[in-house]
Structures are given as C-alpha cells and as structure tokens.
Chains A and B, each alone.
Chain A
Amino acid sequence: MSGTSGTQGRRPVVTPSRVVAGLCLIAPFVGMLWVGSYAKIEPTLIGIPFFYWYQMLWVPVSALLTTVAYILVRREKRALRATEPAQKGGAAE
C-alpha cells in the first residue's frame, strides 16, 4: 500500500473510520481475556451467576461491534472505489 500512481497521491493507511473499526474489533479481546473482571457469582440474573450471563451478554455486544466495523470498512471501500474508477488491476503498487 505504499505509493499509488501519480495523480492519486498517497492514500493514508490510518483513517478515522479504520481506527474506530479497529477498536470495535479489539474490545472483545480486552473484555474476554480480563477474566478477573467477571469471575464472580453476584449479581445474579434470573438465578444465573454473573460469570455466565455477563459472558453471554458479550455475544450480542461483540456481534454488534463487528457489524459496526463491517459497515465502516465497507463504506470506506465504496468511497475509495468511487474516487478511482480506473485503478483496477495491478495499479495498487
């Protein structure tokens, strides 16, 4: 991804939407690998200890975060394609 041909100039590798997408993807790792933060029984939810319902709550949360990352990446890619219609095929390097 270093230089592209003449008129395009340098495409930044780090863009705000990529940073946000990256954070969305990293969050589950921090949440899940910090086991000490959720290794407890209380508070229970309908009788289920915290340890279990908290981790299961992370399933929809991380799915949502991945969806956000997906939308951000897709939007950026579309914007990129719109600006360089004739750039396909070996022009990336």
Chain B
Amino acid sequence: MKDVNGVALAVFIFFFVAVTVMGFLAARWRRAENANNLDEWGLGGRSFGTWITWFLLGGDLYTAYTFVAVPAAIYAAGASGFFAVPYTILVYPLIFLFLPKLWSVSHKHGYVTTSDFVRGRFGSKGLSLAVAVTGILATMPYIALQLVGIQAVLDVMGVGGGENTNWFIKDLPLLIAFGVLAAYTYSSGLRAPALIAFVKDALIYIVIVVAIIYIPIKLGGFDDIFAKAGHWFSEPNPKTGAPRGALASGEKAQWAYGTLAIGSALALFMYPHSITATLSSRSREVIRRNTTILPLYSLMLGLLALLGFMAIAAGVKVDNNQLAIPQLFEDMFPDWFAGVAFAAIGIGALVPAAIMSIAAANLFTRNIYKDFIRPNATPEQETKVSKLVSLLVKVGALIFVLGMDKTVAINFQLLGGVWILQTFPALVGGLFTRWFHRWALLGGWAVGMIYGTWKAWDTPAATQKHFGNVANIPGIGEIGYIGFTAFVLNVAVVVVLTFVLRALKAPDGIDETSPADYQADSGDPGDPGVKADLPPATAGAPGGH
C-alpha cells in the first residue's frame, strides 16, 4: 500500500471543506420567497444569465469524463481516445439548432424535464415514461463515472486503502465525499453546484495551464513526449500480441472514431442534467450565446487529453489506467500543487454528480411520481420527493461502480450514451415536426434500447466480458459505436412504423403546443412568465397512452 501524501491531502481537504460550506450557503444565494417548489430547487428559479449558465454548463458537461476517463483512454491506447475532441466540437453547432426551441417551448409551458415536453407534444404518457426511465437509467453510469474519478484521486493520495483492507474501510473516504455531496444537494438544490462550479472551473483552468506548460518542459518538450509515446504504442501488448495503440487513427479504426464522436455529440444534450442546466437559464439568447463561448472548455479537454501522452513519457506505470493522470500530477508537481490538482479533479466530479442527481430526481418526480403515482401532489410534496430521489439515484450509481470494470471508465459514459441516444427521435424529432407517430416513437425506442443493451452486454471490454463500446455495424462491415448503430436502427423503425400507423389512421395524441411556442422568448409581449405549476397531464391527453 502506498503512503499517504500528507501535504496534498491537507490541501485537498481544505478545498473540499470550503466548497462544502459554499454548498450549504448556496441555499441563500438569489433566494426566492417560496423555495419549496421544483422550479426553485431543481432549476434555480430559472434565473441564470449568460455567465452563470456558462459556468454551470461547463461544470456540468466537463466532468470526471474529461479529467480522468479521456486522458486514461489516451494513456491506454493513444489516438482512439481523442474522439472526445471532435465530439465536443460537434455538440455546439448541434445544440445551436434545437436547444433554443426546447428552451422556448419549456418556458411557455413550464416544462422542467424533457419528458414533460414529450408528453405535451405527443399527448402520450407512455412515451414520456419511456423517456423518463431512460434518462434516470442512463444517468446512473454517468454518476458512477464521477465516483470512479474521485476514487482515483483518493487512491493516489493513499487514502483509498490497499487491496487487503476490507471494502468498507477502502471505500469510506468515497462514501464520506458522497454523503456530503448528497446533503448539500438535498438542502440547496441546483444553486449549490452552480455556485461551486465557479471554484471548480477556476481550479481546473489553473491546473491545466500549469500542467500544459510545466510538465512538457520537465519532460523535454512535445517532440520527446510523442516520440516516447509512439515507441510505447508500437510495442506489442504482452497479452494480445498486437500493438498497444497508435498515434494516429488507423484505417480500420476510423469508423469507430467518427461514430463515437457523433454518437456522443448527439447524446450529450439528451441527458437530463444538460437539459436542467439549460432550462435554468434566463432566456433563449443566453443559450445561443453560450454555444459560442462554451467551446473554450473543449480546448481544455483537448489539452487534458494530451496529458495521457505525458503520463507515458513520464514513465507512469499504474495497474488501473484511471490512476494515470492523478499519478502524473503526484510525480511531477510539488506536493501542495498536486493537492490543488486533486481538489480540481475531485470537485470537478462532485459538481456534475450533484446536477445529474437533481436532474434524474426531477424526471422521477414530474414524470413518474406525479403522472402515475400521485397526480394531485402539491409543489411541496414534489420537491420533497425530488430531494429523496436525488439520494436514491446516487445509490443506483454505486451499483454500477461495483458491477463494471473500473479500468476503462470511459465505458460508463458510453453505456449511458447507448441508452440516452434512444430518446433523441422523440425529443429532437418532436421539436421540429409532429409527423412522427407516438407509437412509432415508442417502437423505435424499444428496438434501440434492446439492440443497444444486448450488443453492449455481448461485447467484451478490456478486462471484462461485457459493456464494450464498439462493435461490428451490421451490413456495413465496419466497427462502430454501438449507441450510434442502435440510434440509426431506432430512427429507421420510427419512420417505417409512422408510415404504417398513419396509413392505418391510428389515433394521434393531442399536441398542447403551438408553432409560435417554439420561437417564444422571455420578455416577449404577452409573455405570461413561467407558470409555477403544470396543469395535470390528463387535461391535454385523455387516457394518454
């Protein structure tokens, strides 16, 4: 077992305590008179302007995935892990097209979740339930990834426990960190991560700038770094006999690279937590403006990814690839700055984990609890249920941590992507057209979910028989991202079934939105403001399906 790095641990704890205090105080920040409704707890009162939204979305989208999983993938295999960069490049032009529409219609009708919109648009409770369940399910492995990130930092600091300690002592620091997170999420709602996001981003940017200048100087420049990395990747892997990786994507890997990038890009804004951060913004313009300034984070992601090569060049040897970057920091930086870097990674994982659990909780409350269990719930009850579910979702995430191979953490996020992508046709399709039939959307979703889950289960990952991320694309003979293949299949089924159902004149649900709603902005003449509560679903959709 390794020794505890006292200085680094002290700095880490200092920052951790500081953000915890901030988290609890956040409840008082920009407080509204009535904090006991979901708009307040779950959307921060829908009051955030361009800069807070920028920090919140940045804090939300750039997670342990960025700081730990992506550099670890590069460390393990080289070029193939860099798909995260084109992924985050493609996200912004994509959301520029549909997110303002979603904001407008949600503003007009008081929608809090994507399922709210789907129900209102298609008049189908069944479809809205499918979207809600998928959202909650897909969020869990993503939260699990955050846990893995925190664990990596704790391990390198020497407080993660060794192989021989029992699981409880081993995971105790992690459980404490998560307990604290759960407590302030419970009490402050979305305001807590929004406030902490400032600290997180400041720390992260400082660490990156220092790392990207200081480490290459110590290692003799990028020439040396890539020469060493190239040499390392060309050597055969002792287990498989094939080269370990490559510095540029080979012919055979290009389909996988492209489909992973586009699949992840399409998936990102289907996640409940991305939508939560979006809907908490004050106006439609805030979102469009953000699509032009958010790419700054993508640059950061690219630079962080390069740290994977630096870890190779620095001769970092770890059993678990996820430890590569924290270990690099510990080897390269003075102890106190390593502590700052660890705090950056740790807090960088806590912020999104908080937002994710809030978003999943909103989904449960609005679209399962209120639609199916207790239609007459008061706003106070709704908020209370949301708070409790935000705790339960975190427990669900723990199950994924225990059940999946932690050495390839990027697969957690990609598995979530396989599922969440299947809600794309209903959500984005619904924003642009009402042509799709609700039952066809449900059929396509089911096919995509079943194919994706089955394929992911059937595909081996590095050290485990299940939950791989790429597989043969049927009919094309290339290797591609399972989520994207399932998505294409889903769309095909939706189109075919819509033709069939329209020909059969199957009953269409009632659409409570009107075309003007998709263009509405706050402050428009006649803008009613956001309604505090949504009328019961049954009003627009008798007997909803």
Chains A and B belong together in one complex: yes
Given A35-B258, A56-B299, A89-B526, A69 and B96 touching (CB < 8 A)? yes
- When the two chains form their complex, are residues A28 and B302 in contact, meaning their CB atoms are under 8 A apart? no
Contact, CB under 8 Å: B306 / A28: no
Query: In the complex where A32-B261, A47-B222, A88-B526 touch, is A59 in contact with B292 (Cβ < 8 A)?
Result: no
Task: Please tell me the number of chain A residues within 8 Å of chain B, measured between CB atoms.
Answer: 41
Q: Within the complex, which residue of B82, B247, B525 is in contact with A41, where a contact is CB–CB below 8 Å? A: B247
Residues facing B in A3-56 (CB within 8 A) are: 24-26, 28-29, 32-33, 35-36, 39-41, 44, 46-52, 55-56
Q: How far, in angstroms, from A63 to B302 measured CA to CA in the complex?
A: 15
Nearest chain B CB to A78's CB is how many angstroms away?
11
Decide yes or no whether B314 CB sits under 8 A from chain A: no
Stretch at the interface among B40-48, B83-91, B128-136: B83-91
B226 touches A90 (CB 8 A): no
Contacts of A46 in B (CB 8 A): 221-223
In the complex, what residues of A have CB within 8 A of residue B303's CB? 56
Is B92 a contact partner of A66 (Cβ separation < 8 A)? yes
- Contact, CB under 8 Å: B250 / A39: yes
Interface string of B510-545 (1 = CB under 8 A from A): 000011100100001110000000000000000000
Q: Judging by beta carbons under 8 Å apart, are B248 and A51 in contact?
A: yes
CB distance from A92 to the nearest CB of B (A): 4
> Among the listed A33, A59, A89, which residue makes an inter-chain contact with B262, where contact means beta carbons less than 8 Å apart?
A33
Task: List A contacts of B248 (CB < 8 A).
Answer: 39-41, 49-51
Which B residues lie within 8 Å of A47 (CB)?
Answer: 221-226
Of the candidates B89, B285, B524, the one whose C-beta lies within 8 Å of that of A59 is: B89
User: Would you call B82 and A28 a contact (CB within 8 A)?
Assistant: no
Q: In this assembly, does B384 line the interface, its C-beta being within 8 Å of a C-beta of chain A?
A: no
Q: Are B514 and A62 in contact (CB under 8 A)?
A: no
Within 8 A of B (CB), among A68-91: 69-70, 73-74, 88-91
CA distance A50 to B79 in the complex (A): 11
Whether B289 sits at the interface, judged by CB under 8 Å, is: yes
Most buried by B among A24, A44, A46, A88: A88
| Chain A interface (Cβ < 8 Å from any Cβ of B) | 1, 24-26, 28-29, 32-33, 35-36, 39-41, 44, 46-52, 55-56, 58-60, 62-63, 65-67, 69-70, 73-74, 88-93
